[in-house]
Chains A and B, each alone.
Chain A
């Protein structure tokens, strides 16, 4: 059977080859295509090809460029001739992922591949139409050589003043067909000439091997020590952040996310910079440890409580695994040059984030014991992904990944740690539990009203202490400071002075200094001396027996009276209701003003709230004459301008001939029909400013959302973006 097309090739390969193809291009099987033909169509579609090309490294891409610059079908030896002997292996790879396929008479490329790569692969122009005597180039005059030098490494196009009146160098080249005129002002260097001038190769340099990663050598033990410190720190950060928000929930911005002010507050609280704060907040958000509730408050979720109960290794894994796969990029928060992007907000997603992150980590993983130097790291990254679309952020993403990996403890001192390696290979992480510093269950209280926990405190103790003291310094140890306000806070939380003292005495390894003991007693003695509550009315009476009487009066139960002093009773109803009920029960109350003066005379009852009369529905109110006049004026002006515009449009149409108008579906349909019939069309085409011009074109084909057609006005082949075509009509 003759094998020419890509689908023929696909029909011929075995399961193993399919497996390889699908593994590297999963988009081909999601969803599973119905047959080989549709698989071939999908594999040859521009988006799929672009994605496959994205996965190539620099060398593979160079080989692909070389393939594109050869005419089909070509043989391996043609390829190696213009590249390097190592191209064979790269070609195998290209075949395995379906970017090149073998046919009976040599290698071929999927039909749309050239479009995806672009017209000028490796800066080479189109193939020459005529046979060239390339050896004559060596004898080219000096002027011509200069021109060639300019064009040889691409872009192959050069502009001349006027093609009819070129300089001597260009004239010689045009004559020899070593340059081809493209239009009035442009000349192009044919591919053969380019390759000849490049010494028979396509590229200046073949990047067969990846650049070596340079950086500082790190000792494994030190790396792991640093990493474990980072791990314990990041766990502490997350816990502290969430505890902070539990006490003082932040308000999400209306546009979503965390405001700059709130970010600053946490940043100060945690003692880290704002980018790190954003990272921690995002980490908690990704791991569902916080939720943004209906009234836009950011608070810890109940998953946080579960998380707290887990072992450190589990806790860390929860954070790290979410970070690994997220498309959100906390590094974007607070960048100087861009507009402000909020942490936890909706604008942090970047498509290539997870990919770059994975690649960054895999580079680290391949270079154990090296803390990479950023320049060399970027060089390697660029080798691995030479043609990433929207790659503008790539270097920053990689830098952020390195920074975040350090914060997380995947790296220590910049080199990948054993925990990071285990984590990336999906292994058990229990070793973290063993390596983290052991928790301590005691503190040391000193006479300057500070307490020091000489290591990570047990959870329960640290929670209690955080309530009764301010944290002054964090790290391996924690320094707490007691003050009047912190003791008050503990009392507000329902602790008694005795409880605080007992807790401290029990937890402290050192005797409690007397001043602290006095401080606690002093504050607890004063605490709650003043009581504050809500009430709406009070009843005052100097006769305590009358007070006793109303307290015991069953008819007044509805007032829910509470005696707060021998002569004062409060109730929940407002003053007028209270008076009414008292009167009904036969008492003789009088009102009292805010200054304590008795209110005399019958007071007319008035509502307390502002009046809001009901809206009138149905009958329309008759507007005032002024309003009516204004409306009429507006109408007249509008009418005049509409009339004028219609008139103008008519004049324009008459001048140009009517612009065709069709709907989007009609447009596609007509275009497809007339491509087949190869007829000229009249179209309306909108430019960047939205103004529509009339064009007469010969449609050629539809490619990537654009109509390729020859424009009668310029005589050039041009692409028209289909959404901008306002209408099509046959001529």
Chain B
């Protein structure tokens, strides 16, 4: 028994005691092969997964290194079965290789013909294969490169991809570091991605994912397609790229509902990509309209299904996914990894916070009591209307009012799900509201006013969940949400995490109706952030009214 910071559990989770002096060193050592699952205050949880181990193999780590690391930092003896499992899992990698062959095009080569025999008999694989070349080689349909990699992964025989990536059409892009510097973790993330080929970078909201994208483009020096969630985000990307890189206005195009520009760097929205005309996706040609050297997926956790499928067919191009919260309530995280590529970089939110790159935030759950009549109405409401009812109660309005008053002078966002509720709040507070039907132009004007301080309070619907950059917002008040969505909660907190010019912290209020499903959903919503180490404080609505907080 040593006194290391790591406890290796028999279910393949690794518990890292972060109060231990060796914890930082250990974190670095295990990061290449273990996936970060949770990072609350004291003990971080990592997990050994086949995917993680294979990624480590791909990055040049062998099983011996992994085992040595585990043994070196482990507090207790490492279960033997885990060591065996690590060695076995890692030895599966590389028995199959995808290679580019001058004669046959894309081929699948093996060092172990039994493995090849096994996989070519699999039902899912057969349709992807071409002619058998010899005992150890078989041709693969070039268009199925992504599909076959994905299917092989599921079979437990990951293929090492030597076929390489197309360089795309070269286009000079460089970072323009005038008056700012790329942060160390951003550089690490961009490099991690570049060496891995393709993959997902996970960074907290407000930690500057756009810069990672820009840095990746500077690595690729090629034409780039950027896919973002909406037009506002597209324009923000454009501005950011103009500011941070050597690109000029003519080199960046916007491909959205409003404009259809195709330039060396094109920013398209998911919405336009998934728009159907006469039952077919009308704009997917965009993927072929340039010889793209790099495709960036912003907020990759929102990647819509058609793009999933399309991505599988463009496996020979480099792909970078960016997100803060790779949790999908539909459980499609795995799909994202297999289509875009594995997680290349992940870092606990609190670590970035401690480095000062995101604002420290306090999360407060304000519980309001329903009045007697409200309780009765709630109790007898139809099940499908219950959440809506308890999330939009009258009492919440008073609490919001009190909170806005208390934080007068600060930049406040009031965020909600239900338009009626938002309209009402906007009226009561006397501030504008931004919702789905608000035209893009007006949205931009309002956001700009908010940024300049002309407006201090804004009521927004879920349109502002993502990618809206509001650097000086310090207070967010959430009145209702999309049921128990964990990533929504995190994204909303993300709106106020940009470091403030005066170093102030941010406060996130979530107003909840006590003893209703609102409270149950809140618990689920908070899980992601709690796992990132954000501890919610629960207060009573009366405390707000009496000014006790």
Interface status of A230 (Cβ within 8 A of chain B): yes
Check B80 against A513 for contact (C-beta < 8 Å).
no
B-contacting residues, A411-450, CB 8 Å = 412-414, 437, 444, 446-450
Inter-chain contact B530/A437, CB cutoff 8 Å: no
**Could you say which of A193-201, A471-479, A496-504 contacts chain B?**
A471-479
The verdict on A358 contacting chain B, using a C-beta distance below 8 Å, is no
Contacting pair A437 B1 (CB below 8 A): yes
Cβ-based interface call for A282 (8 A):
no
CB of A476 within 8 A of CB of B43, answer no
Residues of B within 8 A of A452 (CB): 15, 42-43
Asked if B527 contacts A226 (CB within 8 A), the reply is: no
Q: Tell me the minimal C-beta distance from A280 to chain B in angstroms.
A: 13
Contacts A230-B80, A449-B530; A475 near B535 (Cβ below 8 A): no
Are A446 and B9 also in contact (CB < 8 A) when A514-B537, A515-B530 are?
Answer: no
**One of B71-79, B282-290, B451-459 at the interface:** B71-79
Q: B311 CB to closest chain A CB, in angstroms?
A: 32
- Say whether B76 contacts A229, CB under 8 Å: yes
Q: Are B17 and A454 in contact (CB under 8 A)?
A: yes
**CB within 8 A of A447: which of B15, B45, B78, B533?**
B533
Count chain B CB atoms within 10 A of each CB in A228, A413, A479, A526 and give the residue with the most: A479
From A412, A448, A522, A526, B80 is in contact (CB under 8 Å) with A412
Cβ of A192 under 8 Å from chain B: no
Question: Which residues of B (61-86) have their CB < 8 Å from a CB of A?
Answer: 74-80, 83
Cβ A446 vs Cβ B527 within 8 A: no
Whether the Cβ atoms of A477 and B7 lie closer than 8 Å is yes
CB distance from B28 to the nearest CB of A (A): 21
B10 touches A233 (CB 8 A): yes
With a cutoff of 8 Å between Cβ atoms, the chain B residues found around residue A448 in the complex are: 38, 40, 527, 530-531
B537 smallest CB distance to A (angstroms): 6
Is B538 in contact with A479, judged by CB distance below 8 angstroms? no
CA distance A452 to B43 in the complex (A): 8
User: What residue in chain A is nearest B534 (Cβ atoms)?
Assistant: A447
Instruction: Give the Cβ gap from B326 to chain A, nearest Cβ, in Å.
Output: 17
Contact of A226 among B45, B77, B519, B531 (CB under 8 A): B77
Residues of chain A lying within 8 A (CB to CB) of residue B79: 229-230, 233, 475
Interface string of B33-44 (1 = CB under 8 A from A): 000001011110
Q: Looking at A230, A450, A510, which has the most chain B CB atoms within 10 Å of its CB?
A: A450
Task: Judge whether B134 is part of the interface by a CB distance below 8 angstroms.
Answer: no
Residues A406 and B9 in contact, CB atoms below 8 Å apart:
no
A279 to chain B, nearest CB (A): 13
Q: How far is the CB of A574 from chain B (nearest CB, A)?
A: 34
B13 with A447: CB separation less than 8 A: no
Q: A437-B1, A447-B534, A514-B537 are in contact. Are A476 and B76 (CB under 8 A)?
A: yes
A230–B80 Cα distance when bound, in Å, is 8
Residue A225 interfacial (CB < 8 Å): yes
> Once the chains bind, are A475 and B1 in contact (CB under 8 Å)?
no
Considering only CB atoms, which chain A residue lies closest to B535 in the complex?
A447
Is A271 in the interface zone, CB < 8 Å from B?
yes
| A447 x B1 contact (CB < 8 A) | no
| Interface residue? A455 (CB, 8 A) | yes
- Write the A498-527 contact mask toward B (1 if CB under 8 angstroms, else 0): 000000000000100111001100100010
For the complex, give the distance between the alpha carbons of A406 and B80 in Å.
9
**Do B538 and A518 touch (CB < 8 A)?**
yes
Instruction: Say yes or no: B43 contacts A229, CB within 8 Å.
Output: no
**If A446-B41, A447-B536, A514-B536 touch, does A271 touch B10 (CB 8 Å cutoff)?**
yes
When the two chains form their complex, are residues B8 and A510 in contact, meaning their CB atoms are under 8 A apart?
no
Give the complex CA separation of A522 and B522 in angstroms.
14
A477 CB contacts on chain B under 8 angstroms: 7, 9, 15, 76
Are A476 and B530 touching (Cβ within 8 A)? no
From B78, which residue of chain A is reached at the shortest CB distance? A229
Most buried by B among A476, A479, A515: A476
CB interface residues, B 511-542, toward A, < 8 Å: 515, 519, 523, 526-527, 530-531, 533-538
B437 proximal to A (CB < 8 A): no
B329 within 8 A of A: no
Contact check: which of B38, B75, B80, B536 meets A515 at CB < 8 Å?
B536
Residues of B near A449 (CB, < 8 A) are 530
Which residues in chain B, 478-532, are within 8 Å of chain A measured between CB atoms?
515, 519, 523, 526-527, 530-531
Q: Does B249 contact A (CB under 8 A)?
A: no
Counting CB contacts under 8 A, is B118 at the interface?
no
Q: Which residues of the other chain, B, contact A475 by a CB distance below 8 angstroms?
A: 7-11, 13, 76, 79
Closest to A525 in B: B515
What 1/0 flags go to B12-26 for Cβ under 8 Å of A? 010101000000000
Instruction: Establish whether residues B80 and A476, one from each chain, have CB atoms under 8 Å apart when the complex forms.
Output: no
Given the contacts A449-B530, A473-B13, A476-B8, A226 and B42 also touching, CB distance less than 8 Å: no
16 A-B pairs (CB sep. < 8 Å): A229-B76, A229-B77, A229-B79, A229-B80, A230-B80, A272-B10, A444-B43, A446-B42, A448-B530, A449-B530, A452-B15, A474-B10, A475-B7, A475-B8, A475-B79, A526-B515
Interface residues of B (CB under 8 A from A): 1, 7-11, 13, 15, 17, 38, 40-43, 45, 74-80, 83, 365, 515, 519, 523, 526-527, 530-531, 533-538
Q: Which residues of A contact B (CB under 8 A)?
A: 225-226, 228-230, 233, 271-272, 406, 412-414, 437, 444, 446-450, 452, 454-455, 473-477, 479, 510, 513-515, 518-519, 522, 526
Apart from the given pairs A225-B1, A474-B9, A514-B536, 11 other A-B contacts in the complex at a CB distance below 8 Å:
A229-B76, A272-B10, A446-B43, A447-B41, A476-B74, A476-B77, A477-B9, A479-B45, A515-B523, A515-B536, A522-B515
